[in-house]
Structure 1
Amino acid sequence: MTDTARKRADFHALHQDGFFLLPNAWDAGSAVRLAKKGFRAIASTSAGAAWAAGKDDGELGRDAVLAHLEMLV
């Protein structure tokens, strides 16, 4: 199984056990802190990314969104 397939399976398994918390990271530091706190999955925040760039939610272009997601990962 590839690393990506394993991550998909792990995320899918979270849904089988009932409820779980899915915090939103807004930058690299928050993603690291949330992971260190033991969260097994972390979401991204489009509003947080936009606001950090001085824009409103939904105003970031595709390349900026992809760069933000790459930074979080």
Structure 2
Amino acid sequence: MATFTVPDPVPSPSEDAERIWKACHGWGTDEQAIINVLAHRNAAQRHQISLAFEEQHNENLIKRLESELSGDFEARSSSINL
């Protein structure tokens, strides 16, 4: 079974939302940066990140991820609880 680890101290939802925003800009998508944020947060933290992302960028995080990710990532992003 995989071990779920959350960094200590946990970055704020605003900081995580900004990391995801930056990962989606520039030449291509930095998928690893997105994984490093979302895979190391629990469901409640991911929800807070989603709210912060929408507040900061007036954009739905799920829709952004769907537009940025494809293949295996696209199929799995729809199952992430945000």
Whichever of the two has the greater Rg, that structure is 1
Global fold match (TM > 0.5):
no
